[in-house]
Amino acid sequence: MDREKLKTLLKEQNDQIKDVRELVKREMLDEIKEKRSDLIVIVSGLRRAGKSTLMNEIRKDHLHESYFVNFDDERLFDFTIADFQLMQELLTELYGEKNIYFFDEIQNIQGWERFVRRLHDNGKKVYVTGSNASMLSREMGTHLTGRHLSYSLYPYSFKEFLHFKKYELPIPEVLTTTEKSTIKRHFNEYIDVGGIPEFVKNRDELYVKTLYENILYRDIITRYNLKDEKALKTTVFFAASNIAKEISYNNIRKLTGLSSATTIKEYFEYLENSYLAYLLPRFSTSLKVQVYSNKKVYFTDTAIARILGFRTSEDYGRILENTVFMELKRESKEVYYHKENKECDFVIRDGYNITEAIQVTQSLENTDTRKRELDGMLDAMKAYKLKEGLILTDDTEDEIEIKDKKIFVRPIWKWLLQK
């Protein structure tokens, strides 16, 4: 890059410190601050989920001892690995020698991990963000093994949403009628607007559509050199319209007109890598069954799924299920769905064993629904020898005992607050 052009850009970025005093404190902030100080910290996640804001929050404590570079700036389009040395020289020239580096959206620069490793080996502290899970994990594995801590940042959790609403959280176990009604009202709003910070603030659906287009073109089509834009968009529309449902690569292939179901599989890998959508496998002790069984699809944010897909009046229960799935993702649970004689929405694996079973439904008041949900739960509990199960509903609290098994019924909003 041109030396003076890069110098001007670095000065602009480092002199403009964002005011983060009124922003929501993310739940992982304290954990990042308390971890070992000598390791590289890598935060990856969906575009506009708050990674840059989180970095600024961390940097507040190190303003006079750190550098900042945002590689998502279009003026760095020509930046290559060969320019890292020049960048470091210019930062030192502008601000003197410092020991902490903040790099935003660094995955745009091929070979970045070698420079970051060199900084680390020279005793520097490095914070990195990126929007591509596959690339980050691959490069961490080959060049940064044992040198980094990795975090995934998702859109606001329900707790973080309540912080945004400036609602002081009461003790979930001891709620007054008014507190319960208020929390339920906020939960209904959360289900509708999701947790993308800017959309939660401004409620502009055009913002979500523009975000989606940026992810589609910058993080998928351009990165993977895809030719069939229409097929990819049809795949996303189908997925957004069918959250919490089983999908078949072959059925989507027919819908798109593509010749290979493998291409659809690759599309979903790209969607997962960009943190837009996820596929949930069916649990089986047979790896072959697990690989070839249909998957269930979920989106990282309910507002994205609602705005991009086709919605019906029956969708509320599936949106609730999507919300539970994303909370399990935040907890880094190893999640599957169960389907043998009956279906159970989620089973959690810990080591070699399934240790939890969770059903999600809007209500248990309907007799047919109650039977279906209980049958699915009992089928999973029997398969994995579980004594207890959990059914999450919109607003029911109960305990059901069937023979030697106990099934707890809890409102989803209360379950989220107890996390």
- Domains of the chain, CATH where assigned: 3-153 (3.40.50.300), 319-419 (3.40.1350)
Q: Which pLDDT value is given to residue 392?
A: 98
Contacts of residue 358, defined as CB under 8 A and 6 or more positions apart, other chains included, come to 324, 344, 345, 346, 347, 348, 389, 390, 391, 392
Contacts of residue 176, defined as CB under 8 A and 6 or more positions apart, other chains included, come to 170
Question: Nearest CA to 267 among 301, 289, 234, 310?
Answer: 234
Q: Look up residue 294 and give its DSSP letter.
A: -
Measured distance CA(348)–CA(336) in Å, rounded: 7
Q: Which pLDDT value is given to residue 198?
A: 95
Measured distance CA(131)–CA(90) in Å, rounded: 26
Task: Read off the amino acid at residue 279.
Answer: L
Q: Which pLDDT value is given to residue 349?
A: 97
Q: How many CB atoms lie within 10 A of CB 348?
A: 18
- Give every strand in the sheet of 125-130, ordered side by side: 66-70, 100-104, 125-130, 40-45, 148-153
pTM for the model stands at 0.94
Residues of the chain with pLDDT under 70: 17-23, 134-141, 313-314
Q: Which pLDDT value is given to residue 91?
A: 97
Q: Which pLDDT value is given to residue 18?
A: 57
Both structure tokens of 122: 């020279």
Contacts of residue 237, defined as CB under 8 A and 6 or more positions apart, other chains included, come to 308, 309, 310
**Measured in whole angstroms, how far is the alpha carbon of residue 344 from the centre of its chain?**
23
B/e letters for 315-325, b = 16+ CB within 10 Å, e = fewer, are: bebbbbbbbbb
